[in-house]
Structure formats: structure tokens, C-alpha cells
């Protein structure tokens, strides 16, 4: 596995053209899609989902990724100084798929998703976490695919002795907050309805952003915050250039 944890990946640009009545009315909207595919991204996938060298080793606080096509970057939150790696929050690259939510709903499977969205790689978020563009750059993020993780979905569905099952009532909500103050909510579970597949989320109402911060809250709480695992996956982020 490569020791250089800062990846620059040139990803496929998609071009959308809207044509008016004449050439002067033609409007061209250029977008790039962050897909996390390629050897540079593969090198950022830890070879143990918990306790691996990349996300928990001696250099874990420097784990980071950056995409040349969209300009987006992410990595460790380092909320407590960085000594505990991914346990402090952040965004990690993964390719683990594990549908066994009944038996693998633990932190040992924290990089897994229960079903593929057709991609090889994706990002796993442990909230709180932030992704951002370079300083001084704001762009419209048109959409991203969001899905559950094996750990989060298993606990939300069945409970785990600490957090309750939300299969009948209660909620777990992901909040996406832009640095401009706009935000939107994505329900991971609400009133018996549980997000158990990948969905495309429209982010255009957030407007141009320099950064997005991901947080989770819910109905089952303790003095330390929400009890359910604050994990989700995202992929195929469409950015307007």
C-alpha cells in the first residue's frame, strides 16, 4: 500500500449544454463528478476496517484526500488532536461491501456498506466531518449519492443493547450544513422508515459553497449525544465548475 496518503485523482468531466434560440443564447454548464475510482484512491483504502495502519496508525492524523477535477478534499477531523484517528471523525475511502447487518453491526465493520451502488469505491463518513474546496473557492454542488453503512443500518434496524431499534419509531437524521449557513436534512430513519439503499440527494438549494459539514442527531440520546452510529456513505458528487 502506498505511503503517500494525499491523493490527487483526475476524474471524468461531464459536460451539459443548454441551447437557446440562437448561438448567443447558448449556455454551457460544466460539471465534474467525484467518483473515488482509480489506483490513487485504492491506495487510501485501509486493509483493516478498524485499527488499520492508515486510519489508526502513527500517521493517521495526516490521512487526507483531494480531487483534482472537482477541487474537493477531505480527511481526518482530528477533533481531539488526531491521536485516535478515524474515531475522531472524518471521511475515509472504502470499497467494503457487507450485507450482514444482523451480525456485523459493530465498529469492526465501520467501512462497509450493505449494498453496492455500482461503484467500486466510495467515501465513508463518521460524523462530525467536513469536505471543502480550496480557500477562497465556492462552487455549486449539484448532487451526491448517499447511503447507509452496515454498522449504522444494523443498529438502526435491530438495536444493539445500547441504542434502540428505530424500526417502529424514533429518528436518526443527517444534517448537511454549508459554510454559507444553508442546510438540509436527510433522514436515515424516521417513524419506522429506514434508509436502506443508495439515494441521490439534490444539493442545489444550498447554493455555492466552500465547505459542507456533516453532523447526525436523533431521538435516542445520552449525555454524550446520539446513541446510534453516526456513519453514512457518499459517492458520485457532481460539482458545477
CA distances from 208 to 176, 181, 241 (A): 14, 11, 10
Cell 469505491 found at:
121
The answer for residues whose C-beta is within 8 angstroms of residue 228's C-beta and 6 or more apart is: 152, 155, 156, 163, 166, 172, 216, 218, 220
Question: So what's the pLDDT on residue 17?
Answer: 40
Non-local (6+) Cβ contacts of 218 within 8 A are 166, 170, 171, 172, 173, 189, 226, 227, 228
Concatenated DSSP letters of 173-232: EEEEEETTS-EEEEEEEETTEE--S-EEEE-GGG-EESEEEEEEEESSEETTEE-S--EE
Residue 8 has pLDDT above 60, yes or no: no
Region 42-47: mean pLDDT is: 98
Q: In this structure, how many other beta carbons lie within 10 angstroms of the beta carbon of residue 227?
A: 18
Spatial contact of 73 and 67, defined as CB atoms under 8 Å apart: yes
Query: Are 178 and 212 contacting, i.e. CB atoms less than 8 angstroms apart?
Result: yes
What average pLDDT does the chain have? 92
Domains of the chain (ranges; CATH) run 6-240 (2.60.120.1350)
pLDDT band at 24 (very low <50, low <70, confident <90, very high): low
- 175-196 tens-digit pLDDT: 999 999 999 999 999 999 999 9
Q: What is the pTM of this model?
A: 0.89
The grid coordinates listed for 147 are 447511503
Query: What integer pLDDT is reported at residue 23 of this predicted model?
Result: 56
User: Whole-angstrom Cα distance, residue 229 to residue 20?
Assistant: 48
My answer on whether omega of the bond before 175 falls inside 30° of 0, hence cis, is no
Q: What pLDDT sits at residue 142?
A: 98
pLDDT of residue 188: 98
Over residues 9-28, the mean pLDDT reads: 50
The Cα diameter of the chain in Å comes to 65
H-type alpha helices, the chain: 39-42, 53-56, 150-158
Comparison of pLDDT for 9 and 202, the residue scoring more: 202
Confidence (pLDDT) at 21: 47
Tell me the per-residue pLDDT of 129-148, one tens digit each, with 9 for 90 and over.
999 999 999 999 999 999 99
Cell match 465498529: residue?
107
Amino acid at each position: 500500500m502506498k505511503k503517500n496518503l494525499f491523493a490527487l485523482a483526475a476524474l471524468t468531466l461531464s459536460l451539459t449544454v443548454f441551447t437557446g434560440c440562437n448561438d448567443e443564447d447558448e449556455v454551457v454548464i460544466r460539471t465534474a463528478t467525484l467518483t473515488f475510482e482509480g489506483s490513487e484512491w485504492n491506495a487510501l483504502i485501509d486493509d483493516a476496517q478498524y485499527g488499520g495502519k492508515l486510519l489508526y496508525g502513527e500517521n493517521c492524523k495526516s490521512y487526507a484526500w483531494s480531487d483534482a477535477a472537482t477541487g474537493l478534499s477531505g480527511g481526518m477531523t482530528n477533533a481531539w488532536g488526531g491521536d485516535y484517528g478515524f474515531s475522531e471523525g472524518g471521511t475515509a475511502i472504502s470499497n467494503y461491501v457487507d450485507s450482514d447487518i444482523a451480525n456485523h453491526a459493530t465498529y469492526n465493520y465501520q467501512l462497509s456498506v450493505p449494498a453496492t451502488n455500482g461503484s467500486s469505491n466510495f467515501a465513508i463518513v463518521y460524523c462530525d466531518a467536513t469536505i471543502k474546496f480550496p480557500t477562497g473557492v465556492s462552487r455549486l454542488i449539484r448532487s451526491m449519492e448517499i447511503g447507509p453503512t452496515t454498522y449504522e443500518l444494523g443498529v438502526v434496524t435491530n438495536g444493539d443493547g445500547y441504542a434502540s431499534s428505530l424500526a417502529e419509531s424514533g429518528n436518526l437524521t443527517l444534517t448537511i450544513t454549508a459554510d454559507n449557513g444553508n442546510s438540509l436534512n436527510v433522514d436515515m430513519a424516521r417513524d419506522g422508515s429506514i434508509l436502506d439503499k443508495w439515494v441521490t440527494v439534490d444539493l442545489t438549494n444550498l447554493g455555492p459553497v466552500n465547505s459542507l459539514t456533516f453532523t447526525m442527531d436523533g431521538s435516542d440520546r445520552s449525555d454524550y449525544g446520539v446513541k446510534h452510529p453516526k456513519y453514512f456513505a457518499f459517492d458520485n458528487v457532481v460539482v458545477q465548475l
